[in-house]
Chains A and B, each alone.
Chain A
Amino acid sequence: MATAVRLSGITKRFGTLKANDDVSLSIRAGSIHGLVGENGAGKSTLSNIIYGLIRPDSGAIEIDGKAVGFTSTRQAIEAGIGMVHQHFMLVPTLTVAENIILGREKSSFRLPMKRLEQEIRELGHRHGLEVDPCAPVSSLSVGEQQRVEILKLLYRQARILILDEPTAVLTPSETERLFVTLRSLAAEGRTILLITHKLDEVLAVSDDVSVMRKGALVGTIPTSSATKEVLARMMVGRNVLLTTENPSQAAGSPALRIDRLGYVARDGAKKLQDLNLTVHSGEIYGMAGVEGNGQAELLSLLWGTYDRQATIDGSITLDGRSLLGMSPAEIAGMGVSMIPEDRHKSAIIADYGIEENLIFGRHREHDFHRGIGFDHEKIHRNALQMIERYDIRTGSGSNPSIASLSGGNQQKIVLAREMERPGLKLLVLAQPTRGVDIGAIELIHRRIIDARQSGMAILLISSELEEVIALSSRIGCLYKGAIRHEFPEESVRNGRKKGSGFEKEIGLHIT
């Protein structure tokens, strides 16, 4: 079979960091090629090089057997390469058809919109990418927007499609549907490069899979001979326990109670309505749901950071005391810790060192004080303890800046700080392993289960169903601001054994 993309000896440095180190890779024409690796392994750099966004320092690229040296994405597009970015590049106020032809208008005067819309409709129908060409993009769901992005590439006659983490925003059924589309595109002879960190998906859909680690290509193997364990080992460089042991445990008394909670944003949008749930001590309540169904609003209410001009009703109580209306500092003082979903924006100060970050948000604790300042000796000892207990890999030097650590180690710092809060009763975790490497996920999951066993009440909000299933005692399915269905302990325990069947079952309740 012909080779669509051939990379040889691609190297790209950013400062002292080798983002790509002598990467050589061939992608067969008409195949679906998975590219997996942890965050920072160099996947995005490599795909951006193929798409002409970044120029490599050295190495050669061949497209369809012809050597190319793109200096702009325009040239890559002309060579038949298209890319769907993780964040969509659509104009929300324009219609689907207008977005698709944007930049490709064949006439500079009147556009034959009727005919174009018909063309787009047919193109969509052929590949299972149905979407109304006349609808404005702002009215589409995330899954539909992604279809528009793919249609845009097909309309431009792209033969090599690069998709960067395409399933991150999709529900399980939408993911399934996307895979059908990808297979039909490959069957037509198009080549697809699928970048992802979800091993199940790459195993389900790809023909070949390449693994990257620390900028280098570890290897390429046919998917038929790959297993999750094999890929994980290639990614991390050692054996990884993919499922954490989760012994069952009797839940204690109710700790967090959310009763008929409603949230109407200041623009009148109903974000939460009649949300009810109880989290007991000694249990992990997992909240499954696609992003944008009220998770952000719920988190802001739990942590006192919500928009004070929104209309709130119902109640949130911890051990009978209301949390609503309190400031984050007061809520923390009641024994609550929160791991926010966006670590970089909300949980760490990149310019501070590890020691300062390990007390950030806990700097009011008298234990760390001395005079008008801090007791640096204690803060240093605290850091040493946390580094040891949470296996934080800090690299060289004393107290290096947190920005120099990998995502996984940064998250361990946040976790260590929040879990060790004195008098902790309730732990709220939002996407606790987002952007975290597999090796670190293992430890984070184990620590979460340890915390549960010590009697903590834990609310876990995650869009990764796999994670929700692996950790939760009970699972609530969040859809349009309410818990639509709750799986009791027994069915979660049974579901854990069923694997992807259970994921689909949950998927039904969140779409």
Chain B
Amino acid sequence: MSRKTLEPFVPTLSVIFALAAGSLIIAATGSDPVSVYGKMFRSTFTTGYGTGQVIFRATTLVMTGLAVALPFKVRLFNIGVEGQLLMGSFAAALCGSSLPQDTPALLALPATLLSAMVAGSFWALIAGWLKVRYGVNEVISSIMLNFIAMGITGYLLTTRFAVPSTVHTPTIAEGCQLPGFDAVSGLSWHSPANLSVLLAICATVGAAILLYATRYGYAMIASGLSPEAARHAGINTTAHTLSAMALGGAIAGLGAANLVLGYKHWFEAGLTSGAGFMGIAVALLAGAHPLWIVFSALLFGWLDYGGLSVNTMVPKDIFMMVQGLTILAIIAFPALLRNRMKN
């Protein structure tokens, strides 16, 4: 088989490889991999609560995955999603809690979502602007911006906005809360899954349309594939760099819909639990394709919650290793294939 025919299977192969490696590690810790994986499956897919947990986690990951994927199309590696998600969540919480309790949802929801998107977008644009204006590598600047975002939100939370003797902000107005699955469907999953999943689907479909069905996407992808040729063809690559970052940041900020509007209803320390960083892995596994990101996010959401559910049998850290191994394999396999095929 040639390299070309094998390449589409790299993500699947990587996942299988990582799961197999995971079972070796589980075996090495003295547990039975079959029963561990079995319990993971049962606790996630056969219970409403587990399914809801996976969906809840995947919802944030779809947003953060897209936030990495869109800039990726113009050759930008947006490592700063964590910071953008933090800023977006913080802005949403502040906006939501400062609105009067009886603000109608039609006004409160858009206002809160918009504040989250603007905050995330602004944070991403700093890295974009540094890139086009001064040539600062966006990987480095966005990592640093992550720390700064953690610092800002942490500082403002503890010194100014936290409800006394707690580590969270006041509850947001009722009008901007997104109802959970149970409330709208009559199910009783008691899970954190909520209607923001619809926003994640809209964002995915919107991103796919933007990239593959509009003239804007044609120009954007061209400036990512070959910036020099794109400039020659009269495409403003600088504008595309900035707008891809802005768009990525906005979708990262939209993650707040799930965490703040749909679940916690406030901002608290450790709210994001690293979903911004995991978005990088989600996007890489999906090859930065918006539609694949949904599946990739579900897989990582499953590993994330599934790992937690078997915590009594094996430490959940093992599943962090599996997530890491998947990405390592994704990166290493194509290179391995290339070398094999050469000789």
Contact = CB atoms under 8 A, between A and B. Distances in A.
A332 interface: yes
B245 interface: no
A511 B163 CA distance: 80
B226 interface: yes
A351 B225 contact: yes
B211 to A, nearest CB: 11
Interface in B169-225: 213-216, 218-219, 222, 225
A363 B214 contact: no
A373 B234 contact: no
A364 B234 contact: yes
Contacts of B230: 349
A360 B233 contact: yes
B309 to A, nearest CB: 42
Contacts of A15: 2-4, 341
Interface string A324-358: 00011110100000101000011111111000100
B42 interface: no
Interface string A356-394: 100011011000010011100000000000000000000
A305 interface: yes
A451 B230 CA distance: 26
A328 B219 contact: no
- Chain B CB within 10 A, most for which of A348, A349, A369, A374: A349
A225 interface: no
A346 B228 contact: yes
A361 B233 CA distance: 4
B226 A328 contact: no
B228 A352 contact: no
Contact of B234 (A328, A345, A351, A374): A328
B228 A373 contact: no
A328 B233 contact: yes
A303 interface: yes
Nearest to A328: B234
A345 B218 contact: no
A422 to B, nearest CB: 15
B229 interface: yes
A347 B228 CA distance: 9
Contacts of A494: none
A340 B232 contact: yes
A358 B203 CA distance: 31
Nearest to B231: A305
A16 interface: yes
Contact of A345 (B214, B222, B229): B229
Contact of A350 (B226, B231, B233, B235): B226
B226 A363 contact: no
Contact of B232 (A330, A356, A361, A372): A361
A373 B233 contact: no
Nearest to B214: A372
Interface string B20-51: 00000000000000000000000000000000
A2 B231 CA distance: 56
B43 to A, nearest CB: 43
Contacts of A16: 2
B234 A327 contact: yes
Contacts of B215: 363, 369, 372-374
Given A363-B219, A372-B213, A372-B214, A329 B234 contact: yes
Contacts of A346: 228-229, 232
A373 B213 contact: yes
Interface of B: 2-4, 213-216, 218-219, 222, 225-226, 228-236, 341
Interface of A: 15-16, 303, 305, 327-330, 332, 338, 340, 345-352, 356, 360-361, 363-364, 369, 372-374
21 contacts: A15-B341, A16-B2, A305-B231, A327-B234, A327-B236, A328-B234, A332-B234, A347-B232, A348-B229, A349-B222, A352-B222, A352-B225, A356-B218, A360-B233, A361-B232, A361-B234, A363-B218, A363-B219, A369-B215, A372-B215, A372-B216
